[in-house]
Structure 1
Amino acid sequence: MRRFPVCLLLLLGLLAGCAGPADRDGAAGAGAGAGAGAGDAVRRAVADWAAGAAGRPGGVPLQSWSYEVTSVRVADGGTRATAGAELRYRLAGHDAAPAGGARELSLAASDGRWRVTADRPAPGALPELWDQGPVQVVQGRHALVLGAGPRERLTGIAAEADRAVPAVTAAGSPGAGRTWAGRVVVLVPDSVDRMAALLGSAPEAYRGMAAVTTGRVGAAPAPADRVVVNPQAYQELSGEGRRIVLTHEVTHVATRPVTSASTPLWLSEGFADWVAYRDSGRAPRDVAPAAARAVRAGRLPAALPGNAAFTFGGDQEALSRAYEESWLACRLIAARWGEPALLRLYEAAAREPLSRALATTLGTDLPALTAAWRAALTTELGGP
């Protein structure tokens, strides 16, 4: 993810449908009863309901949609039940692996049949976008945008995402064209509070952050990643700022399958920024103002940013420096060893220790890379 301070980026100059509320009514199922028979009937009721329109978000293009019931509790003399279930779905043309999560369904028995009366996230589980209200759908050439709010905003985000995807592919991002199909799903909730709810964090963690990426690092096949947009922060950006943000996040989606827990954050975040700024033509001092201020003040970093430097909620200036210094490291590698070498390093760093990856792809070691990077910081950012 990338926090782009709004004050900096301000300087940088289908089909539609709606989902109903989270509590949906739908008649389904087979004979109600008690005990094991009731449990089987509830399972059949949930399956029948999920197969119909009442059990699916309206307008959202689905390749598959199913619930696996994991528990059934019958109450009130066999007239009401609560079912725990796992929702699994794929968005048509986008998901290579299922998305979903734990759900809790309420059912009522009437005339010998069970009826699903409510579907909500299970306690502690994250909601889906359609749990928050009606969803509009904008289908672009490379992007599917699901969101709330003005349709004009969603259409603009789809157009920007459609530009970002080919830019990521053109940069030869690890995974692009091989483990990534060149498509992205963008979620646009109507507020930062609802963005935070989708991600399971406090809203304060995302204020001022224009977008983040979800997904499982190192998963195979490619997981169902989503780019989630903070509508308030995104709208405050300039056109170029929006392009940079979405290109950065789309790079994360493209590289996710070839990123692992051993990939240093300076490499993954720096690479995403390198792709985003690759064709911008902007000077390093413009792209890295926080790092430039530190260098001019005589605070040249001794080492590449550690993973802890990317923690949100702390010193914003230090966080900006971590991203900018990482971008400059990837820029240096691409300039000195070549863009293909940078791509090879990214892939190798996910499979083996960084020291070995540097030796096999660049023919250097971490002290030598660090020295070259510190010299580049001085050359690119120093001076009055």
Structure 2
Amino acid sequence: MVTLLTGLCCALAMAPKWALPKILAAQDASTESLGQAPADDPRLAAVRRTMEPFGPIESIRVPGGDTTESLVVGHPGHRAELEVLARELPGATAAITELWGPDWAQSALVVIAATPSEFAALVRVGAEMPTEVAAASVADPFVRGNEPTGQRVVFSPDAGRRLSADGLGTLLRHELTHIAARAETADGAPQWMLEGFAEYAAHRGRGHRFAEIAPTVNAALRTGTLPEDLPPDTAFTGGSAVASYEQAWSASTFVAEKYDEHRLVELYRRLAAQRQDAASEDRVLREVLGIGRADFVADWRGWLSAQAV
């Protein structure tokens, strides 16, 4: 599901309690208060050719810190979602910067697709995206040194119908985390770290409880079933994807709670720097956390067993 070689990262649309209600029409926000992007904005040029065949385009300019500015783009039928995401962007950007650090653009192009075909075109895949994917981030190849270009977050056409405003905001943070970390993330890095960290950043400080974030894992824990190991890369697609994302989130949350967020970020930077195997993961874990892989998994499983509710 995540093909970093082509710069694509996806987020599943799972439906825990915090995400279930449908979003309502946005309130206390308007194009005028948020700022309409000019038609010649160069960021619009990156998506205009793809989007125009699917109907008229609306855009909202979202001022950020200092001179940064984000842009939310979609079609008139998704006006409520556009305004929700525009209001979520400043807080999401600030939260990710607080966790990851300031060494990223601290702005984003966020797009809502009108149809599955447009969704696939915006993330540059050859076929329609799997129906469980609610959002994806994509970047052009590295053309300016080590800095990816053309980065954007794309939401599926039904994301707003399937998720609450809180759910949309959580998905936005997940994908913005991938964008923030893109320049330090290599193809083939372990998905349990990449997706776990993005999920940790997505839920951080949003008041979601363990059983709400990881209902599949929680249900297994209540029967006494623990994962035997960290989820392999192949488990992040198909029927095992939901449990794998939850397990990956729990591994990052475990690191943040037992150690601290600084070491969680350092662990990400080290593990994401290159393709890993069990031996190299063991080495990095020892260097960052002072514990080998086998003991790390055992401690994580012990922490998990105490979380069931």
TM range, smaller chain: 0.7 to 0.9
1:119-156 deviation digits (Å, cap 9, x = unpaired)? x9xxxxxx733454432221112421122124443222
1:4 corresponds in structure 2 to 13
The runs of at least 4 consecutive aligned structure 1 residues that moved more than 4 Å come to 216-219
Task: Map 1:167-316; keep pairs closer than 5 Å.
Answer: 167-171=95-99, 173=100, 176-178=101-103, 180-199=104-123, 200-203=125-128, 205-215=129-139, 220-311=146-237, 314-315=238-239
Q: Which moved more, 1:192-201 or 1:355-364?
A: 192-201
Tell me: higher relative CO, structure 1 or 2? Use CA pairs within 8 A at least 6 residues apart.
2
* Paired residue secondary structure (2:111): strand
More helix by share: 2
The two structures, once aligned, show a CA RMSD in angstroms of 2.7
More strand by share: 1
CA contact under 8 A between 2:85 and 2:169: conserved in structure 1?
Answer: no
1:372 corresponds in structure 2 to 299
CA offset at residue 16 of structure 1? 5.0
CA contact under 8 A between 2:16 and 2:213: conserved in structure 1?
Answer: no
**Distance across 2 between alignment mates of 1:12 and 1:265:** 30
2:285 corresponds in structure 1 to 358
1:282 and 1:12, CA in 2 relative to 1: closer, same or farther beyond 3 A?
A: farther
CA contact under 8 A between 1:192 and 1:206: conserved in structure 2?
Answer: no
1:301-350 deviation digits (Å, cap 9, x = unpaired)? 11101100111xx21xx211101111110011111121100111111113
* Paired residue secondary structure (2:150): coil
* Paired residue secondary structure (2:106): coil
CA contact under 8 A between 2:119 and 2:154: conserved in structure 1?
Answer: yes
Q: Alignment identity in percent?
A: 30
- TM-score normalised according to structure 1 size: 0.65
1:266 and 1:216, CA in 2 relative to 1: closer, same or farther beyond 3 A?
A: farther
1:97-138 deviation digits (Å, cap 9, x = unpaired)? x969xxxxxxxxxxxxxxxxxxx9xxxxxx733454432221
1:245 and 1:351, CA in 2 relative to 1: closer, same or farther beyond 3 A?
A: closer
**Distance across 1 between alignment mates of 2:91 and 2:106:** 11
* Paired residue secondary structure (1:2): strand
1:8-63 deviation digits (Å, cap 9, x = unpaired)? 4206992256xxxxxxxxxxxxxxxxxxxxxxxxxxxxxxxxxxxxxxxxx1402x
1:53-94 deviation digits (Å, cap 9, x = unpaired)? xxxxxx1402xxxxxxxxxxxxxxxxxxxxxxxxxxxx39xx
Structure 2: any 5+ residue segments left out of the alignment? 1-9, 24-34, 65-69, 275-279
The code of the aligned residue for 1:193 comes to S
Structure 1 residue 349 and structure 2 residue 274: aligned? no
Structure 1: any 5+ residue segments left out of the alignment? 18-58, 63-90, 93-97, 101-119, 121-126
Structure 1 residue 137 and structure 2 residue 59: aligned? yes
* Paired residue secondary structure (1:210): strand
**Distance across 1 between alignment mates of 2:203 and 2:75:** 29
**Distance across 1 between alignment mates of 2:214 and 2:22:** 13
